[in-house]
Amino acid sequence: MKDLDDESVAESNSAARSEALDATLLEALGNGLTHAGAASLAGCSTKTVQRRVRNLTFARELASLRAVRQEELASRLSHLSSDAVSVLHQILQTGPPSLQLRAATTVMSWAVRFRDTVETERRLTDLERQAGLLEDDDG
């Protein structure tokens, strides 16, 4: 009976170590560290990181974590973009001609990209709605 208790404790400890390793690796990889960097931080080999990344459950968790981080970053950049546009506007109004030209070029370039992105998203949403992947706004 003692041997069974020892085996149970050993399995429990091993599972806890594995969960701690996965948590460390997820955090490291989710923050953009390389496999080597994540391995160094977690105290394991690069091969272990590669093996974990090939695990479907781990890969899904990592993808989910990265998606959350990307959404957070996009939100922060969106908030900063208002300030950036204000700076460009100020330069266009009062900056030296060389900076005005660069600011105007930047504004025009980003305006086209933004318009194209908005149009692409609108068209994609329309296609998803037609394919039945989205509900109509009034339904």
Break the chain into its structural domains and give their ranges. 2-76, 95-139
Residue with tokens 């068209």: 123
* pLDDT tens digits for range 45-78: 999 999 999 999 999 999 999 999 999 999 999 8
CB burial of 60-92 (b: ≥16 within 10 Å; e: otherwise) equals: ebbeeeeeeeeeeeeeeeeeeeeeeeeebeebe
3-class SS shares of the chain: helix, strand, coil, % to 5 = 85, 0, 15
Confidence of residue 15 (pLDDT cuts 50, 70, 90): confident
Tell me what pLDDT residue 108 has: 95
Q: Percentage of the chain surpassing pLDDT 70?
A: 88
Claim: this prediction has a pTM higher than 0.75:
no
pLDDT score of 136 more than 90? no
Mean pLDDT of the chain: 89
Q: Output phi, psi for 15, to 5 deg.
A: -65, -40
Number of Cβ within a 10 Å radius of residue 33: 17
pLDDT score of 30 more than 80? yes
- Residue 33 makes CB contacts below 8 A (sequence gap 6+) with 41
